[in-house]
């Protein structure tokens, strides 16, 4: 019984690490079109935030 628990403890780390790597690799999947769309949306959001900041800066003067 002790050797079974020891074996499980020793295997827990590599199995957990492999599972995490497998899950993280799945997140990167997606078409280039989806990524381009997301980049475009993020750029638009950054432009909007810059405009809001500039408006606040001008209003403070």
How many angstroms separate the CA atoms of 36 and 42, rounded?
Answer: 10
Mean pLDDT, the chain, whole residue set: 89
The structure tokens 């199995």 sit at: 15
What pLDDT, on a 0 to 100 scale, did the predictor assign at position 25? 86
pLDDT beneath 70: ranges in the chain: 27-30, 61
Query: Is the torsion defined by CA of 21, 26, 31, 34 positive or negative?
Result: negative
How far, CA to CA in Å, does 54 sit from each of 13, 41, 46, 60?
50, 20, 12, 10
């Amino acid at each position: 019984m002790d050797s079974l628990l020891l074996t499980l403890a020793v295997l827990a780390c590599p199995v957990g690490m492999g599972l995490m790597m497998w899950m993280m690799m799945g997140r990167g999947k997606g078409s280039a079109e989806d990524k381009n769309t997301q980049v475009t949306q993020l750029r638009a959001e950054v432009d909007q935030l810059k405009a809001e900041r500039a408006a606040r800066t001008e209003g403070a003067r």
